[in-house]
Amino acid sequence: MNEFISLKIDNKSVRCKKGSSILEAALMAGIYIPHLCHHPNLPHHEACKLCVVEMQEQGTIVASCSTKAEAGMELVTNSPAVQKIRNLSIELIFSEHPADCTACPKYLKCELQSVAQFMGLRGGRLKTVGKNISSDMRNPLFVRDMNRCIQCGRCVRACEQVRGVKVLDYCHTEVGSSIGIPGNKLMGEAGCRFCGACVEVCPTGSLRDKEGIINDTVPYEQALVPCQQKCPAHIDIPRYIRKLAKGEMEDAVAVICEKVPFPETLGLICNHACEDVCRRGLVNQPVSICSLKRYAANYDSGSWKKRRIVKPQTKKRVAVIGAGPAGLTAAYYLVKQGHQVVIFERKDLAGGMLQFGIPKYRLSEDIVQREIRDILDIGIEIKYETNITNPKRLLTEGFDAVIAATGAQCGSALQIPGYRSEGVLTAIDILEATARKADIKTGERVFIIGGGNVAFDCARTLRRRGCERIDLACLENRECMQASAEEVAEALEEGIRVHPCKTFIRIVTDGKHVTGVETANVDSFSFDENNKLQMKIAAGENHIYECDTVIFAVGQKSETFDDLCGFTVGKANTLVTEANSCQLLGSDAIFAAGDITTGTKFVISAIAAGRAAAMEVDQFLGGQGDIDELLLDRDEQEHFIGRIAGFDKLERASEELLPVSERISGFKQTTKAYPDKTATAEAVRCLQCDLRRDLERVKFWNSYDAEPAEE
Amino acid sequence: MRNQQKNDEDMIMRHELNSNNAATPVVTKKWGRMSGNNIAEYINLGGFSGLKNALKLNPEDVIKQIEVSGLRGKGGAGYPAGLKWSSCAGQTGEKYIVSNFSNCDDTNMIVNTMIHNDVYAAIEGMMIAGYAIDANLGIIFLRNTQTVEYYIISAALEQMRFSKILGKEILKSDFQFDIQVVMGKNNAEKGQEIIILRSLAGLSPVTVCNRPHAAEAGLYGKSTLYHSMETLASVPAILEEAYLETKLVQLVDTENETILITEVAIGSSIGDILVREGITTEGIKAFSFGGSMGALFPPERLGMLIDFDEINHAGGAFGNAVIRILREKECLVDNVMHCYAVSSAECCGRCVFGRMGTAQIYETLKDITKSVANRMILIV
Ligand code: SF4
Ligand code: SF4
Ligand code: FES
């Protein structure tokens, strides 16, 4: 129960919660009192004395941040006596503060500057007592420019009392006190957990994020947690990792399932762009976000489904074409929004690329089909082996909206001489045939053209099918290959020969069948303004690789409809949508999601597209489009993270990789999920960048009803 | 009881303080009669009989005796010790006794002299207090510079444990008490009660406004009895015999190369003390009481009595009982300037007035001594 009390501030009646300070009461009522050492998330400190007010009756002056508001109080925030103290205080603060505001990266975002502006005063009368400390740039992530410190003590309180880490402290030397790290240690050495709380609460430019750390092209709140921002589905990464660090695996799964319906699949095959931007990477190495997801998913008991909300029936029907990751995701969220969904799948099994594109040694069929079953179980109807040739017709068959999510499943080939010869295949052919355990004829010497993940998937699949001699060539050099570094390394271990920097002149044949590929070496290449490839061929002779099978892994084309119904077709056969929308250009109730609109992308992008389509279609059908849900409440105590010995030195763990012989002898998963101990240790490495979001942003005087002083 | 030394260093090294000259030895009773904190000698001189007597009484009666004695905290404010004790005794749950065995001002050597001459009296006082308020743990806090003192105190405690005067079944009673010595981690951890309590609890070493009384919520928020070393050292005498309130003062007469520490009865006049100690009152330009935290007085005030209220009201700092005599050759402005240099360097660093205000005054005085001051600065 909150009791309220009333008091008077500047003759204005103010009501506030019992127990609030005078300052809180005033700010709440829109009355601005200058303050610097006060921060809403920190205990009061009474250091700056700017917040003084006069108690009218007693004539005493008190600091409003640390004095409790009491019923019936009558206070003045700007009596002459108050002004005198406040002015002296700001003069004293500026007597040791550098004058070069405009040179400070915090310029215009600085609380001190704002207070001074409000008071119309900076000092200049008193003697300057410079500190002349140079900026400390030695630490990862943060700059400590203590020359600008006003010793408000906020960072110390945040570090000590909010986080329980206690790295920053008051330090004393012969000349006096300062804020620092005792012993002038590096932050990491002193036990810093790089949570950023100190930077967040610092009112001045003394503690800052290093330049470029905060991505200023996205909203600040999002930029604070780069991994989540980068994840196309915006999974709440730090939150699930924190759960894992505490050993609460099921809770971790619940957090993941708030945003995506395929936890284990993603844990195995996601391209994890999140890890590229993980802040821990700047301390030593990024957190293994993806492997931790896989680990968590192993503990999925489905208990989170109890909290899942399925809204009441809307009687609206949606048809989804294609049961790949995009289609399944869209269907899942639409059913949750109360719509009835039917998926039409051309093949006899759902999953799309998950089922037929990704080799089993990366993602086993059991996992894909189990997760798909889980999704369908929410009440999605699926019609297999149904080829939709005209999506528009579905609208006349009782559907209120259609989502096309047919993906990009037609392998393309480079149109070089000989590309139609016998023995030329596409990677997709190989991968799908393998997934179906079907026969596909390949020779003894295979030459793969392409350097992306699919090329490597294909090479490694063939290796597992017993092919001994596999050459893989691509245009890019080793560093720029599109496939992930691990993929390349593992393929090399498995005996696949990789030839970077090649261009392909022709396929050599005996008139009918492939006998080799003629290549030239490329020095460099670029794309001109029309996106046309420009190459510089290296001097020297062309080389012919002898082979009996050539496989193109140079991308896939989107799969559209026999009857295009007037849709606009773009590059690589994609369907074009309205700007910032999933709705197909020139259609009314037909939407598209996933590779069909973007061309081949990653699974997580398809899932994100499925989510976006679900939101839009829900709105189209009269809903709110609010598919986000909280499957687990946030824990109040999370912000107190405490100390961990040697935190900055904790090394990234990698999953155990099977030995090569075991790998190539079948389609076993190549890596093993973390054992419990490793997973916890890895989870502990996270900096928990999201905690910083919970610290309130201090509002400046101009967001209150305040009049600045005349200068 | 006098001791003339060339400089402060020697002073700390030698401790040849002759207690026979003390008018009323209470705290200094055993000084100069032990060969260096030897427990057998302390006991031979009647040590621990205060504790023994206390253990024969009810805790309430011990507190009553403290109340009757009129003992006041000698660290500064002069709060009646009996009141502190009974308010701690009235609390439930875990309790602590914390004492600061250091001075916040480098020129004050009273505490270190106490440690070197007789550390047991204060420890005994701490134990009596522990018995009276029902605490089982005492903590002695030292500055990070007091390494020698740390070893002396640790050794004394070891001797006491060995003689079964500390730990369990103290002096064959069922009273149980232990003492820890804790040294500050850095030189910010020094000075006032709140800073020391916070340092011990692992919090930043700064003062806090509007805090509860330590007796109610002190160390770790538990009831804590906090006393200066000198207050604790006065306690055994109260339980031994008729007690008289005294104060240790340090007299500094730089021009005559004199520094001495003496124990005087509360209510003695400063002028008389100087005369008794053979320090001439001729040619005194001014004297200060309280070191850098105190105030300067003209020679007419030599009649001022050593008394909690009188000194504090006059602006001196009773707790930091250093009386410095300034004679002709010394400059008063320099002296004040020096005080502000010390204050600004030694302040805890929390509030802007304490930190930058003192720095500003120091800078201004510096300008004044160099005749380059700007009068604008005086308009506040
Ligand atoms: S670094 Fe910033 S937060 Fe810390 S005391 Fe200085 S101004 Fe305040
Ligand atoms: S440290 Fe944790 S929260 Fe921060 S970016 Fe990396 S995974 Fe995300
Ligand atoms: S905000 Fe109250 S003293 Fe600084």
Tell me if B143 sits within 8 A of B183, measured CB to CB: yes
Q: What sections of chain B are H helices per DSSP?
A: 8-14, 39-44, 49-56, 59-69, 81-89, 110-117, 120-133, 147-162, 193-200, 229-240, 270-276, 308-314, 332-346, 352, 358-369
From residue A660, alpha-carbon distances to A365, A548, A616, B361 in Å are 22, 26, 47, 76
Phi, psi of A169 (to 5 degrees): -160, 170
For residue A109, report the distance from its CA to the centre of ligand 1, in Å. 15
In a 13 Å sphere around the CA of B225, the CA atoms on its Cβ side amount to 35
Contacts of B165 (CB under 8 A, 6+ apart): B39, B48, B51, B171
Tell me if A447 sits within 8 A of A420, measured CB to CB: no
Q: For A227-260, write each residue's pLDDT tens digit.
A: 999 999 999 999 999 999 999 999 999 999 999 9
Count helices and strands in chain A by DSSP H and E runs: 24, 27
Tell me if A404 sits within 8 A of A321, measured CB to CB: yes
Place of tokens 């008091």: A7
d(CA A91, CA A295): 57
How many inter-chain contacts (A to B, CB under 8 Å) are there? Answer: 103
- For residue B4, the model assigns a pLDDT of 38
Tell me if A37 sits within 8 A of A66, measured CB to CB: no
Mean pLDDT of chain B: 88
- Contact: B205, A170; criterion CB under 8 Å: yes
Which residue did the predictor score with more confidence, A39 or B243? A39
Proximal ligand: closest to the CA of A280: 2
pLDDT tier, B23 (very low <50, low <70, confident <90, very high otherwise): low
Proximal ligand: closest to the CA of B351: 3
Which residue did the predictor score with more confidence, A359 or A707? A359
Q: Within a 10 A sphere around the Cβ of A103, how many other Cβ atoms?
A: 9
Tell me if B361 sits within 8 A of B339, measured CB to CB: no
For residue A156, report the distance from its CA to the centre of ligand 1, in Å. 8
Choose which CATH entry (3.40.50.1240, 1.10.150.650, 1.10.150.20, 3.10.20.600) describes domain B246-328.
Answer: 3.10.20.600
Domain spans of chain B, in order of start = 25-239, 246-328, 334-379
Contacts of B131 (CB under 8 A, 6+ apart): B51, B54, B55, B59, B62, B175, B177
Least confident of A537-541, A652-656, A695-699: A537-541
Reported ipTM: the value is: 0.86
Question: Cα angle vertex A284, ends A280, A287, to 5°?
Answer: 40
pLDDT tier, A710 (very low <50, low <70, confident <90, very high otherwise): low
- Residue B18: is its pLDDT beyond 50? no
Q: For B166-177, write each residue's pLDDT tens digit.
A: 999 999 999 999
d(CA B186, CA B189): 6
Least confident of A423-437, B3-17, B339-353: B3-17
d(CA A486, CA A474): 17
**Chain A hits for B345, Cβ within 8 Å:** 172, 174-176
Q: CA nearest A306: which of A254, A259, A379, A263?
A: A254
**Chain A hits for B211, Cβ within 8 Å:** none
Count helices and strands in chain B by DSSP H and E runs: 15, 9
Q: For A507-563, write each residue's pLDDT tens digit.
A: 999 989 999 999 999 988 888 888 888 888 888 889 999 999 999 999 898 888 888
Q: Mutate one of B186, B206, B352 to test the A interface: name it (highest A CB count within 10 A).
A: B352
Query: What burial letters (b/e) apply to A302-341, b meaning 16+ CB within 10 Å?
Result: eebeeeeeeeeebebbbbbbbbbbbbbbbbbbbbbbbbbb
Q: Within a 10 A sphere around the Cβ of A130, how many other Cβ atoms?
A: 12
Cβ burial, residue B281 (10 Å; 0-12/13-18/19+): middle
- Residue A128: is its pLDDT beyond 90? no
- Residue B15: is its pLDDT beyond 60? no
Q: For A67-125, write each residue's pLDDT tens digit.
A: 999 999 999 999 999 999 999 999 999 999 998 889 999 999 999 999 999 998 776 78
- For residue A551, the model assigns a pLDDT of 96
Mean pLDDT of chain A: 93
Q: Give the gap in angstroms from C-alpha A28 to the nearest C-alpha of chain B.
A: 23
Taking the CA of residue A201 as reference, the ligand 1 atom at the shortest distance is: 3
Question: Cα angle vertex A574, ends A573, A576, to 5°?
Answer: 130
- For residue B380, the model assigns a pLDDT of 54
- For residue B17, the model assigns a pLDDT of 44
Q: CA nearest B17: which of B5, A151, A174?
A: B5
- For residue A596, the model assigns a pLDDT of 92
Which two three-digit tokens encode residue B248? Answer: 């240790």
Which residue did the predictor score with more confidence, A128 or A49? A49
Q: For A448-460, write each residue's pLDDT tens digit.
A: 999 999 999 999 9
| Chain A touched by B355 (CB under 8 Å) | yes
For residue A154, report the distance from its CA to the centre of ligand 1, in Å. 6
Q: For B38-82, write each residue's pLDDT tens digit.
A: 999 999 999 999 999 999 999 999 999 999 999 999 987 789 999
Q: Within a 10 A sphere around the Cβ of B49, how many other Cβ atoms?
A: 15
* CA-based torsion, B314, B320, B322, B327: positive or negative: negative
Region B91-113 average pLDDT: 90
CATH of segment(s) B25-239:
3.40.50.11540
Q: For A265-305, write each residue's pLDDT tens digit.
A: 999 999 999 999 999 999 999 999 999 999 999 999 999 99
**Chain B hits for A89, Cβ within 8 Å:** 352-353
Query: What burial letters (b/e) apply to B238-275, b meaning 16+ CB within 10 Å?
Result: bbbeebbbbbbbbbbbeeeebbbbbbbebebebbbbbe
- Contact: A153, B356; criterion CB under 8 Å: no
pTM of model > 0.90: no
**% of chain A residues with pLDDT over 90:** 81
Q: For B274-321, write each residue's pLDDT tens digit.
A: 998 889 999 999 999 988 888 899 999 999 999 988 888 888 888 889
**Chain A hits for B208, Cβ within 8 Å:** 45
Q: For A387-400, write each residue's pLDDT tens digit.
A: 999 999 999 999 99
Kindly list the protein residues whose Cβ atom lies closer than 6 A to any atom of ligand 1.
Answer: A 149-155, 179, 201-204, 206-207
For residue A104, report the distance from its CA to the centre of ligand 2, in Å. 28
Region A648-664 average pLDDT: 95
Proximal ligand: closest to the CA of A39: 3
Q: Within a 10 A sphere around the Cβ of B7, how many other Cβ atoms?
A: 9
Kindly list the protein residues whose Cβ atom lies closer than 6 A to any atom of ligand 3.
Answer: A 35-38, 46-51, 63, 65
**% of chain A residues with pLDDT over 70:** 99
- For residue B374, the model assigns a pLDDT of 75
